[in-house]
Amino acid sequence: MATKGNKKRRQFSLEEKMKVVEAVDSGKRKGDVAKEFGITPSTLSTFLKDRARFEEKVREASVGPQRKRMRNALYDDIDKAVFAWFQEIHAKNILVTGSVIRKKALNLANMLGYDNFQASVGWLNRFRDRHGIALKAICREDSGRLMNGLGIDKVNEWHAGEIIKLIADYSPDDIFNADETGVFFQLLPQHTLVAKGDHCRGGKKARQRLTALFCCNASGTEKMRPLIVGRSANPRCLKNVHSLPCDYRANQWAWMTQDLFNEWLMQVDARMKQAERRILLLIDNCSAHNMLPHLERIQVGYLPSNCTAVLQPLNLGIIHTVKVLYRGHFLKQILLKLNSSEDQEKVDIRQAIDMIAAAWWSVKQSTVVRCWQKAGIIPVELTESDTEAAASEPDIAIEKLWHSVAIATCVPNEINFQDFVTADDDLIISQELLDTEVIQDMGAGENTDEAGSEDEGEASLPQQPKITLTEAISSVQKLRLFLSTCVGVPDAIFGQLNGIDEYLMRRVTQTPVDSKITDFLQIK
């Protein structure tokens, strides 16, 4: 009896199955689609029946698009824990090798109670196939390497496709970018080399750092109020302070968390709703940005991973300009102390907040626009000289100030002003995922949203005296007298001084008639 040859069963990848489903959705007859892809009507029916499962896998990115089978791993919980960890690491652009994944898998398996699990090369290959992982993550973003390597393809693809769709319905006034940066707010010039490259994952240095969130639009016409995150929820220097030039929050690491970012997002969304505006917000995919709330007036667009060094406007000179200006304010304080022979006191959080906010509001509209142009989001020609100006606009004037302070404070010759400005560029700015959080979705140890104690880290700082309304008015009068002795004072300065004077006088007239004079003289 002749044996009938068995026909080899064909397997389809997830990507191929989705193409079949999309062909049916386009309006083609099912019979024509079956013939086009060389499948039987029953196979087509199976694809259509399972389409929800295919779409979920694609949306969650838990299965690679070339994957042909969707069997679960033998140790499914280990697989899920390792993949959750991998997504966190990949979002931070940290180099990941096969051996690193295998070691992490063993650690997580041990925490889950699997003593017999072996993270073999075979397991690693299957893990990679299940999730469509190519181990080509970049350790740290470098714009030169990105533009000369494989990253150029991703950048060009984003410029030619996704960004065009994202910005199509928005004017430059309604396209925003938000990003965070870390600041060693008490860093002295002579300590620059010690701070350089420090990630500051905790310890005593967490008391000396802040995280600042900035947000601006593509036309440079709107810069949102900064959000500053510190370590102490109630620092002594903010006692009796009711108005700040920014929003201030705190947690024990002084970095951005999902809860803080989402709170900020909801506030922005509420303002946009009140103003009857709709905006596009471009952000990176750091861990604090991964779980967003429902937003009515904000469309969020994610920048491609590993490409923010060349695509994120705030990273292309805006934040650098803020840091240049902040360090300039800091150097002026040092120089004033040196000239007055006063003891050098550490800058407190309130002073740092004032200087960061002043630096942010001083960034010129032209600087903002040039950085958006450099990112390729605003379609305007940009010359090389313009690019350099965007990143170093205030540097020249402050270099002289740096030279004076460097000589007076004996800063080593190998340290220059740019070293001082960029000393905190490597600070961790968002919450890192712990192994316990991978498994339990919450930390078994310290709570990263819990702020430090009230006066922790400020014991050496003197408490600022409370200034009365009378003293404030007197200070304005003294300042007016001083300016009258100066030559060439711009009219705008006198205008600003008049504005301050008018505000203080309104405070006087708003004081209840029956209040005691001692109450009137105190700022409330």
Residue 175 DSSP SS3: strand
Among 118, 109, 100, 99, which Cα is nearest to 78's? 109
Domains located in the chain, CATH noted: 14-60 (1.10.10), 76-131 (1.10.10.60), 153-378+397-422 (3.30.420.10)
Predicted model pTM: 0.65
CA distances from 259 to 26, 263, 431, 447, 482 (A): 41, 6, 11, 12, 47
CA 291 – CA 58 distance, rounded (Å): 18
Digit-coded pLDDT (tens) for 67-111: 445 455 567 888 888 888 877 766 655 556 777 788 888 888 888
Query: CA distances (Å), 24 to each of 14, 17, 27, 78, 320, in order?
Result: 16, 11, 6, 37, 51
The amino acid at 516: K
Mind listing the pLDDT tens digit for each residue in 130-181? Answer: 776 655 433 334 444 444 444 566 677 777 778 888 898 999 999 999 999 9
User: What is the rounded average pLDDT of the residues 115-142?
Assistant: 68
Tell me the pLDDT band of 394, cut-offs 50, 70 and 90: low
pLDDT tens per residue across span 461-513: 556 677 888 888 888 888 888 888 888 888 888 888 888 888 887 776 665 54
146 exposed, middle or buried (CB, 10 Å; 0-12, 13-18, 19+)?
buried
> Are 34 and 41 a contacting pair, CB within 8 Å?
yes
pLDDT (tens digit per residue) in 424-474: 888 888 765 556 656 654 333 344 455 655 444 454 555 667 788 888 888
Say how many CA atoms lie within 13 Å of 41 toward its Cβ: 4
**Could you tell me which residues are beta bridge partners of residue 248?**
228
- Look at residues 245, 224, 220 and name the one whose alpha carbon lies nearest to residue 393: 220
Give strand ranges (E) for 420-465: none
Which of 32-36, 66-70, 244-248, 485-489 is predicted least confidently? 66-70
Residue 229 confidence (pLDDT): 95
Q: Which residue has the higher pLDDT, 255 or 266?
A: 266
For the residues 259-271, what does the mean pLDDT come to?
96
